[in-house]
Structure 1
Amino acid sequence: MDFDFTDDQESLRDAVRRFVDKDYGFEHRRTTVRAGGFSRSNWEGLAGLGLMGLAVPEAHGGLGFGAIDAMVVMEELGRGIVLEPYAQGALIAPALLTMGEQALQATWLPRIAAGEALIVLAHQERGARYRLDRCSTVAQSGRLSGSKSLVPAGADADAFIVPAQSGEGIALYLVERGAAGLSSRSYLLQDGSAAAELMLNDCPATQLVGADKGLDALEFAIDIGIAAQAAEAVGAMEQLVAITVEYMNTRKQFGVAIASFQALRHRIADVKMQLELARSMSYYASLKLGEDAAQRRRAVSQAKVQLSQSMRFVGQQCTQLHGGIGVTDEYISSHYFKRLTTMEMQFGDGLHHLGEVAARMQDTAGVFA
């Protein structure tokens, strides 16, 4: 199998990397955190590159690109530990909107492609423990009541895609920011990104996907998120390793650079091995997004298991190799560690997905078919 990227994909990578290097430096990121963890100007900067239309169909003003192109973008955004929820607004939301009625698509997809609208998925609830089929938010006559937790950029989004119990199953609804009965409480996550609690009290909503297909659509959206997050984690780990190696080459003990110590060289070799394992599973997850639901779900869970192990190992080892400076807020590597730690718990942690993998491999007794 050819894993080389096309010239267009390399050009896309270079464009995003230039944006990250020029417009998303460490101090700029810290300023964004102090301002609430989300910046409309940053979002518009990404839109200026055409990235918001990456997954939007060409018929609605987008580029209609695929999963590998999205993976390339996410690696570079991870490299810069970009705070804005690109995967949510530019990958997950368009995928779900294309399942809705044409009128709804025509209203929102061109705005997403132009960077004028941010729509995020609000699916997590207290007590659900990453189970997508557990949903206490209720829909009655097109009105929603319930609450959602850890909604990305919840105080800044223009609309939300909300799963709710409707009849015999879970349906997906679109709720606009100004809807009556909708309120939110914002806060920062450990990595500095913005999140919010979303409260819905008899809130009017538009059905996007019916109860017969709602859970399947939600699972597909989460799989897109996991694949995107895997690529983002690879980019973040790659940059953290580069920062650590540079530090080891400049930090001296006993008159020599610590990079010359054999024990530390062995540790950084183990770190790079975990990075490459994560990269291979990131590719695997993105390539499997077009498969049938059973294969896709197993593949992304397998990827998340490996990514969880790699993120934890790389983050911990690189922090220890830095010593005390590695945990200070003023030094950039600590922010990579925080981001990796936060990602490990999003879309289901490693233990949850280990259970998912086990449940989907009963027939093969753990042997890959």
Structure 2
Amino acid sequence: MNFEHSEDRRMLADSLNRFIAEQYAFDTRDRIAKSPEGFSADIWRQFAELGVIGALFGEADGGFGGGGFDIAVVFEALGRGLVVEPLLGAVMAGEAISAAGNETQKALLAEIIGGTTIATLAHDEAGSHYELARVETRAARSADGWVLDGAKVVVQQGAQADLFVVSARTAGAVDDEAGISLFLVPAKTAGLAARDCPAIDGGRVAELRFDKLALGADALLGTEGQAHATLERAIGRGVLALCAEALGAMEAAKTETLEYLRTRKQFGMLIGSFQALQHRMADLLLEIEQARSAVINAAAAIDADRVTRERALSAAKFSIGRIGSLVAEESIQLHGGIGMTWELPLAHYAKRLVMIDHQLGDEDHHLQRYIALGKEVH
């Protein structure tokens, strides 16, 4: 299999990396991440104009990419710049709409790709512990549609989004795969409340509460009670995006650490000349290349059969969790005390790497999942 990027992907990567370097310097990113909105509407509009959002979607949906390597190229660049704009939500919500939506619902993809609608997935709940099928939020049929009750947690840009793809149980026990349905919920729907808060690594998240929220029959996305497979596909693309983002953050942390070792002097010598530090840096470089291989493998498998796809994704997320924590720790230790200072970008890369491990399933969860999926093969 040829893992070389196409000319279009190379051009996209070059233009996106250049845009981030010129328009998204660390002080700009820091200001955006700490803002009340948690992202920049102007940067979001420019991402749409550059085709960055469109690269995450296939041609049938109005985009020009949508493959695993398209997602990886975009999010690796975003990771290098610590970008906080809501592209992860666009990937997951967009995939759910693309996979399960009717023609009317799929028309919303044009607004997402054009940057006029911010969409995100609202699936995680307080007691879910990363288990995909554990859904307590309930949806009951009404005379003219549905009524939702429940809550979702850590919803990316939950207070700023225009549209939510919400999972709710329409039948079955709380952890049954069957009986989960998806609904399109506009942010201004009566009965929806969002409690906004800053995320520890920048940007904003929210807790959503649904209190007898009434929806029309046309809000149901796909077939009632059959949304588990759609969720798995959508979240799988989110896992790939996070792994690629982590790889970009690792590369940036590595570059900063190498530069520090080449310029910092101690006892009249460059600390990069100390053999013990050289060995630690060499080990780190090898680990980052292993992470890159895991991301490539996951990107190549994104459209494969379910077990192959999910095993590759869980293997990548496990590797990224382990290696990301190692890169965060080693980079800060090789910098010394200055590595912990708020003003240095390195501390923010380290925080992001640690938090990526906790999004969409941590290292332990994906190791167990990888083992369980292997048993399905045999």
Q: Per the shorter chain, which TM-score range? A: over 0.9
Q: CA deviation at 1:212?
A: 4.1
In the alignment, the residues of structure 2 paired with residue 195 and residue 363 of structure 1 have an alpha-carbon distance, to the nearest angstrom, of: 35
Give the percent of matched residue pairs that are identical in Structure 1 and Structure 2.
39
1:18 aligns with 2:28: no
Aligned counterpart in structure 1 of residue 148 of structure 2, from 125, 144, 148: 144
In the alignment, the residues of structure 1 paired with residue 188 and residue 59 of structure 2 have an alpha-carbon distance, to the nearest angstrom, of: 29
Alignment match, 2:288: 275
Structure 2 counterpart SS, 1:143: strand
In the alignment, the residues of structure 1 paired with residue 248 and residue 72 of structure 2 have an alpha-carbon distance, to the nearest angstrom, of: 10
Structure 1 counterpart SS, 2:244: helix
Contact 2:79 2:244 in 1 (8 A): yes
Q: CA deviation at 1:193?
A: 2.0
- For 1:165, the aligned partner's letter is R
| TM-score normalized with structure 2 length | 0.93
Q: CA deviation at 1:296?
A: 1.2
Structure 1 counterpart SS, 2:302: helix
1:327 aligns with 2:337: no
Spell out the pairing of 1:152-231 with structure 2 (5 A cutoff): 152-168=156-172, 169-205=179-215, 206-231=219-244
- For 1:264, the aligned partner's letter is L
In the alignment, the residues of structure 2 paired with residue 253 and residue 196 of structure 1 have an alpha-carbon distance, to the nearest angstrom, of: 46
Spell out the pairing of 1:277-292 with structure 2 (5 A cutoff): 277-292=290-305
Contact 2:170 2:181 in 1 (8 A): yes
Alignment match, 2:46: 45
Contact 2:171 2:225 in 1 (8 A): no
Contact 1:170 1:210 in 2 (8 A): no
For each residue in 1:141-171, what CA deviation from the matched residue of structure 2 results, as whole angstroms up to 9, or x when unmatched? 2121100000000111001111000134100
Q: CA deviation at 1:134?
A: 0.6
In the alignment, the residues of structure 1 paired with residue 65 and residue 279 of structure 2 have an alpha-carbon distance, to the nearest angstrom, of: 44
- For 1:335, the aligned partner's letter is H
Aligned length, in residue pairs = 363
Alignment match, 1:304: 317
Q: Describe the shift of the 1:93–1:364 C-alpha distance in structure 2 as closer, same or farther (beyond 3 A).
A: closer
Alignment match, 1:343: 356
Aligned counterpart in structure 2 of residue 242 of structure 1, from 230, 242, 255: 255
Structure 1: segments with no counterpart, 5+ residues: none
Contact 1:122 1:160 in 2 (8 A): yes
Contact 1:167 1:211 in 2 (8 A): no
Structure 2 counterpart SS, 1:173: strand
Contact 1:298 1:360 in 2 (8 A): yes
Q: Describe the shift of the 1:283–1:84 C-alpha distance in structure 2 as closer, same or farther (beyond 3 A).
A: same
Structure 2 counterpart SS, 1:126: coil
- For 1:339, the aligned partner's letter is R
Q: Describe the shift of the 1:101–1:46 C-alpha distance in structure 2 as closer, same or farther (beyond 3 A).
A: same
Contact 1:175 1:204 in 2 (8 A): no
Contact 2:169 2:225 in 1 (8 A): no
Spell out the pairing of 1:56-67 with structure 2 (5 A cutoff): 56-67=57-68
Q: Describe the shift of the 1:315–1:137 C-alpha distance in structure 2 as closer, same or farther (beyond 3 A).
A: same
- For 1:269, the aligned partner's letter is A
Q: Describe the shift of the 1:201–1:364 C-alpha distance in structure 2 as closer, same or farther (beyond 3 A).
A: closer
Runs of 4+ in 1 over 6 A off after TM superposition: none
Structure 2 counterpart SS, 1:213: coil
For each residue in 1:112-155, what CA deviation from the matched residue of structure 2 results, as whole angstroms up to 9, or x when unmatched? 11110011001110111000111110001212110000000011
- For 2:70, the aligned partner's letter is D
In the alignment, the residues of structure 1 paired with residue 41 and residue 327 of structure 2 have an alpha-carbon distance, to the nearest angstrom, of: 31
Q: Describe the shift of the 1:360–1:170 C-alpha distance in structure 2 as closer, same or farther (beyond 3 A).
A: same
In the alignment, the residues of structure 1 paired with residue 330 and residue 82 of structure 2 have an alpha-carbon distance, to the nearest angstrom, of: 19
Structure 2 counterpart SS, 1:289: coil
Q: CA deviation at 1:57?
A: 4.2
CA RMSD of the aligned region, Å? 1.4
In the alignment, the residues of structure 2 paired with residue 319 and residue 346 of structure 1 have an alpha-carbon distance, to the nearest angstrom, of: 22
